[in-house]
Amino acid sequence: NAGVMQNPRHLVRRRGQEARLRCSPMKGHSHVYWYRQLPEEGLKFMVYLQKENIIDESGMPKERFSAEFPKEGPSILRIQQVVRGDSAAYFCASSLGGDNTEAFFGQGTRLTVV
Cα torsion at 4, 9, 14, 20 (round to 10°)? -20
User: In terms of CB distance, is 38 or 83 closer to another protein?
Assistant: 38
Kindly state the smallest distance separating residue 48's Cβ from another protein, in Å: 6
The stretch near another protein (CB under 8 A) out of 16-24, 64-72, 77-85, 88-96 is: 88-96
Query: Residue 90 class from Cβ within 10 Å (0-12 exposed, 13-18 middle, 19+ buried)?
Result: buried
To the nearest 10°, report the CA torsion of 87, 13, 95, 43. 0
Amino acid at 37: Q
> What is the closest distance, in whole angstroms, from the C-beta atom of residue 100 to another protein in the complex?
6
Binding piece for another protein, criterion CB under 8 A, among 12-20, 38-46, 67-75, 79-87: 38-46
Residue 1 lies near another protein (rule: CB under 8 A):
no
Nearest Cα to 34, choosing from 111, 110, 108, 112? Answer: 108
Q: Which of 21, 103, 111, 113 binds another protein (CB under 8 A)?
A: 103
Query: Any idea how long the chain is?
Result: 114
Which residues lie near another protein (CB under 8 A)? 4, 31, 33, 35, 41-45, 48, 56, 91, 93, 95, 98-103, 105-108, 110
